[in-house]
Amino acid sequence: MIRLEDVTKRFPGGQEALKNLTMSVDKGEMVFVTGHSGAGKSTLLRLIALIERPTSGQVIVDGRNTRRVTRRKIPAYRRQIGMVFQDHKLLYDRSVFDNVGLPLVIAGVSRRDAARKVRAALDQVGLLQKEKRNPETLSTGEQQRVGIARAIVSRPKLLIADEPTGNLDPDLSLEVMRIFRRFNEVGVTLLIASHDIALIDQLGCRRIPLENGTVKVEEDDDFIDDYAHEAAVDFERQPWR
């Protein structure tokens, strides 16, 4: 589903976010990208979402080389992918229902179909009762679930999430991960950037650990403690802000 071949991303300042990264995610997999902040997790997801372009190397998504996705075709490309963000990126001038329905409005789905799909998506994240509320009146966990509902409302085959549990306490994080798990069970491919190692271990999914922009060879267990420390630091920095 996702294949990166020898990808390097260098920013104008000369700083290298990704260095000769090669990795892949199969169809139907649920994979976590882990690593310190600055290890290149976000950059990786941004390359897949075409928010950034690689300096060199190939990014292939669903059999399509993103190099061939021109500027004009980016919107249609992004509509194929569900995206979840640490800071939700909801719009606070409209209801939960309208937030979740936005991708359908963009795609020009008819009103009746849209309403049905929005309710189905809200049902899946357990927020059917709150469709008329303004997202501002919801808790952080609920807001994140609205963001997830929006990401899956057009039934994408691929869902990418950048620190989806970054702002959540452990119980809510587990709840969000369970929701992701259920999508995975119905065939959605998921690529999730997270540093919550304990949580990931609980789920037993494959991990791609990044360090300094490339895949790190995993050695022992005590790096988990390192990550626990890093998680706290990351939480403070909120890299997506």
Measured from the CB atom, is 37 or 173 closer to other proteins? 37
Which range touches other proteins (CB under 8 A), out of 5-13, 56-64, 100-108, 165-173? 100-108
The verdict on 103 binding other proteins (CB under 8 A) reads: yes
Task: Name the one range near other proteins by CB under 8 A: 6-14, 20-28, 82-90, 161-169.
Answer: 82-90
Q: Which amino acid is at 58?
A: Q
Please select the residue that binds other proteins; options are 5, 98, 175, 211, rule is CB under 8 A.
Answer: 98
Minimum CB separation of residue 63 from other proteins in Å reads 19
Scanning 111-119, 173-181, 183-191, 227-235 for contacts with other proteins by CB under 8 A, the matching segment is 111-119
Instruction: Report CA 138 to chain centroid distance, whole Å.
Output: 21
Q: State which of residues 101, 135, 209, 213 lies at the interface with other proteins (CB under 8 A).
A: 101
Reading the block at residue 86, the tokens are 């640490």
Q: Which stretch binds other proteins (CB under 8 A): 1-9, 12-20, 70-78, 206-214?
A: 70-78
* Closer residue to other proteins, CB minimum distance, 148 or 208: 148
Cβ atoms of 95 and 102 closer than 8 Å = no
Query: Does 157 contact other proteins by CB under 8 A?
Result: no
| Cα pseudo-dihedral 210, 215, 221, 222, rounded to 10 | -50
Two tokens at 44?
């990786």
Q: Evaluate the CA torsion angle 35, 38, 42, 43 in order and state its sign.
A: negative
Interacting residue with other proteins among 94, 181, 182, 237 (CB under 8 A): 94
> Per rule CB under 8 A, is residue 49 in the interface with other proteins?
yes
- Which residue lies nearer to other proteins by CB, 106 or 232? 106
The least distance separating other proteins from the CB of residue 149, rounded to whole angstroms, comes to 12
116 binds other proteins (CB under 8 A): no
Q: Does 15 bind other proteins (CB under 8 A)?
A: no
Contact residues for other proteins, defined by CB under 8 A: 49, 51, 75-79, 83, 89-91, 93-95, 97-98, 101-115, 150
